[in-house]
């Protein structure tokens, strides 16, 4: 090692710089990486992994420097909102169609047991009688009260029976009875099946080897299709009686003229149209309510939303079916009786 002499003449050993790793028994290592600065997590679909610092850390580098950070959300335009609603609607309709197909297959393969079917008949039919009776009675009285004043101005108040009975049997009776049953029966079905789904009773049926569609949906569907037309007929009867009472006792219209004009303008085809519509209304209520119950969300909020959606969707289906079936039945009337010149 070279020696150097300072100003006082003392000899000192000058330290020469040594390369890294040349010391005895000690090795200078590279500084530890700063993990906070080196590691940046990006979505896997937007980045690639690069090995740095001898395999001690990984850095996720994004392909695009303008990619949104995790947790950020791009602004949604009306086109995005419309597209999302459209895709959701198409998906829901497809799911409902598949659900209906499974229900039809379960109904064809094997009918439900008698005890289960009778229990559904009691809950849907017998317990709905008071609601239908009150609804039909008030429909008849309201029609009598509203129609009498208009017919009296035209001096044809004796035809009040025809107006009440035709409107009640053909349109208002089936639609309003189905609406009331959608609120009572449809919401109850959706809430009951939704609670069973939340409490995992439906999963327990599958675990036991039973088909939930066969055991829970088919009995309710058959009960709605068979009993809602009968309930509609009961509501129509109450409406006819209440309308007759209002017309004869309150407005003093002769009984003979009331029933004469009713017989002249109300035909058997009108009664058939009302009952035929009510059968489709019952099928729509059963399918939509059971589907909403099976697709119920978690918790009490999910059960409440399922019951609300069951009523709203059932009411919309009732109005749509009433429009389509009304046009079809009016056209079918002239197919059966081509020579008929009047309105069916």
Name the domain count of the chain.
Answer: 1
Q: Give the model's confidence band at 69: pLDDT under 50 very low, under 70 low, under 90 confident, else very high.
A: low
- pLDDT(231) > 90: yes
Q: Is residue 130 part of a domain?
A: yes
pLDDT in tens, 89-128: 888 888 888 988 888 888 888 888 888 888 889 989 899 9
Q: Give the model's confidence band at 327: pLDDT under 50 very low, under 70 low, under 90 confident, else very high.
A: very high
Q: Is residue 76 part of a domain?
A: no
Which range marks the domain in which residue 261 is found?
97-331
- pLDDT(133) > 90: yes
Q: Give the model's confidence band at 37: pLDDT under 50 very low, under 70 low, under 90 confident, else very high.
A: very low
Q: Is residue 312 part of a domain?
A: yes
Q: Give the model's confidence band at 320: pLDDT under 50 very low, under 70 low, under 90 confident, else very high.
A: very high
Q: Give the model's confidence band at 31: pLDDT under 50 very low, under 70 low, under 90 confident, else very high.
A: low
What's the pTM? Answer: 0.72
Phi/psi of residue 61, each to 5°? -100, 135
Phi/psi of residue 67, each to 5°? -65, 140
Could you tell me which of 71, 75, 44 has the C-alpha nearest to residue 60?
44
pLDDT in tens, 257-272: 889 888 888 888 989 9
- pLDDT(58) > 60: no
- pLDDT(79) > 90: no
The whole-angstrom separation of Cα 217 and Cα 99 is 10
Q: Is residue 1 part of a domain?
A: no
- pLDDT(76) > 80: no
pLDDT in tens, 16-29: 555 554 444 444 44
pLDDT in tens, 237-259: 999 999 999 988 888 888 888 89
CB 63 within 8 A of CB 46: yes
Angle at 157 between CA 151 and CA 162, to 5 degrees: 90
Q: Is residue 242 part of a domain?
A: yes
Q: Is residue 36 part of a domain?
A: no
Q: Is residue 181 part of a domain?
A: yes
**Least trusted range by pLDDT, from 71-75, 156-160, 333-337:** 71-75
Q: What is the mean pLDDT of the chain?
A: 79
CB 179 within 8 A of CB 315: yes
Q: What is the DSSP track for 69-120?
A: PTT--PPPPHHHHHHHHHHHHHHHHHHHHHHHHHHHHHHHH-PPPHHHHHHH
Could you tell me which of 235, 263, 236 has the C-alpha nearest to residue 161?
263
- pLDDT(285) > 90: yes
Q: Is residue 289 part of a domain?
A: yes
Q: Which residues of 207-244 are buried (b: 16+ CB within 10 A; e: fewer)?
A: eeeebbbbebbbbbbbbbbbbbbebbbbbbbbbbebbb
Kind plus residue range of the DSSP H or E element containing 310: helix 299-336
CA torsion through residues 244, 247, 249, 255, sign:
negative
């Amino acid at each position: 090692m070279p020696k150097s002499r300072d100003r006082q003449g003392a000899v000192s050993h000058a330290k020469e710089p040594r390369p890294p790793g040349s010391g005895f028994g000690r090795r200078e290592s590279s500084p530890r990486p700063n993990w906070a600065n080196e590691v940046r997590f990006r979505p896997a679909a937007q980045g690639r992994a690069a090995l740095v610092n001898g395999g001690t850390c990984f850095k996720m580098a994004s392909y695009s420097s303008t990619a949104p950070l995790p947790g950020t959300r791009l602004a949604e335009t009306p086109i995005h909102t419309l597209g999302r609603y459209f895709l959701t609607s198409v998906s829901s309709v497809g799911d409902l169609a598949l659900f209906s197909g499974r229900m039809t297959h379960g109904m064809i393969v094997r009918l439900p047991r008698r005890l289960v079917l009778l229990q559904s008949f009691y809950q849907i039919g017998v317990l709905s009688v008071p609601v239908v009776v009150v609804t039909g009675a008030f429909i008849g009285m309201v029609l009598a009260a509203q129609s009498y004043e208009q017919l009296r101005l035209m001096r044809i108040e004796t035809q009040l029976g025809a107006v009440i009975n035709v409107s009640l049997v053909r349109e208002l009776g089936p639609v309003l009875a189905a609406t009331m049953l959608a609120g009572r029966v449809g919401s109850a079905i959706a809430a009951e099946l939704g609670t069973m789904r939340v409490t995992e009773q439906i999963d327990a049926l599958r675990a036991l080897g039973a088909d939930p569609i066969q055991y829970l949906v088919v009995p309710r569907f058959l009960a709605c299709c068979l009993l809602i037309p009968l309930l509609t007929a009961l509501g129509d009867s109450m409406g006819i009686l209440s309308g007759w009472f209002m017309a004869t006792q309150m407005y003093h219209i002769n009984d003979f003229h009331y029933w004469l004009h009713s017989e002249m303008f109300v035909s058997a085809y009108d009664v058939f149209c009302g009952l035929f519509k009510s059968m489709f209304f019952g099928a729509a209520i059963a399918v939509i309510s059971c589907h909403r119950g099976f697709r119920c969300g978690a918790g009490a909020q999910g059960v409440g939303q399922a019951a609300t959606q069951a009523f709203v969707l059932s009411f919309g289906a009732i109005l749509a079916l009433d429009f389509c079936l009304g046009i079809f039945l009016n056209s079918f009337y002239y197919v059966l009786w081509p020579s008929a010149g009047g309105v069916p």
